Amino acid sequence: MALILSLPQVAAAEDELELSTTWFQEPRQGTKGLTVIHPVMGVGIDLGSVLNVHLGYSADIVTGATPAVFSVDAVSSATEFDDTRHAGSLAVGFSGQRSSLTMSVAYGAERDYLNLAVGASAAVELPGRNTSLTLSYTHSFDEVCDRDNSMANGALESRPLTIEKCNKDGPFGKDSPTIALDGTPGDGTLWRELTIDTVQAALTQNISPTLVAQINGFGSVLDGFQGNPYRRVRVGLVEAQETHPDVRGRIAMLGRVKKYLLELNSSVGFSLRGYADTWGIEAATVEMEYNQYVGNSLLVRFRTRFYQQTQASFFKDAFFYQTEGTAGAYFTGDRELAPLRNVLTGAKLSYIAAGDDGKAVWGLFDEIIFNVKADVMFYKELEAESTGPNPMGISGQYVTSTGLVDAIILQLSLRLKY
227-194-122-100 Cα dihedral, nearest 10 degrees: 100
Asked, for residue 305, whether it belongs to a domain, the answer is yes
Question: What span, in angstroms and rounded, lies between the C-alpha atoms of 415 and 418?
Answer: 10
Residue 290 lies in a domain: yes
Residues 6+ apart with CB under 8 A from 394: 72, 319
> Is position 172 within any domain?
yes
Beta strands in 295-339 (DSSP E): 298-309
Residue 176 pLDDT: 44
What is the reported pLDDT for 11?
Answer: 43
DSSP annotation of 77 reads G
pLDDT at 381: 84
For residues 405 and 26, give the distance between their C-alpha atoms in angstroms, rounded to a whole number: 9
Whether the CB-CB separation of 220 and 136 falls below 8 Å is answered with: no
Count the domains in the chain.
Answer: 1
Residue 187: φ, ψ to 5°:
-65, 150
**pLDDT mean for each 10 residues of the chain (418 residues):** 37 77 86 89 91 96 84 69 92 92 95 93 92 97 89 86 61 42 55 95 96 97 93 88 95 97 95 97 97 93 97 90 86 90 96 79 83 94 65 46 80 92
Q: Check residue 346 and give its pLDDT.
A: 97
Tell whether 10 is covered by a domain. Answer: no
- pLDDT of res. 30: 64
Which candidate, 27, 13, 171, 21, places its Cα nearest to that of 101? 13
What is the structure's pLDDT at 74?
63
Give the sheet arrangement for strand 232-235, strand by strand: 69-70, 232-235, 238-241
Of 290, 320, 205, 363, nearest to 4 (Cα)? 290
d(CA 334, CA 312): 10
6 part of a folded domain: no
Structural domain boundaries enclosing 342:
16-417
Q: What is the pLDDT of residue 394?
A: 43
Contact in structure between 286 and 309 (CB atoms under 8 Å): no
User: What is the dihedral angle through the alpha carbons of 148, 154, 157, 159, rounded to the nearest 10 degrees?
Assistant: 30
* Contacts of 92-97 spanning 24+ positions with Cβ under 8 A: 92/51, 92/52, 92/53, 92/54, 93/13, 93/51, 93/52, 93/53, 93/54, 94/50, 94/51, 94/52, 95/10, 95/11, 95/12, 95/13, 95/50, 95/52, 96/50
For residue 11, being part of any structural domain is answered with no
Residue at 5 is within a domain: no
- The CATH number of whichever domain residue 302 belongs to comes to 2.40.160
Determine, yes or no, domain membership for 227: yes
Instruction: Report the pLDDT value the prediction gives residue 295, as an integer from 0 to 100.
Output: 87
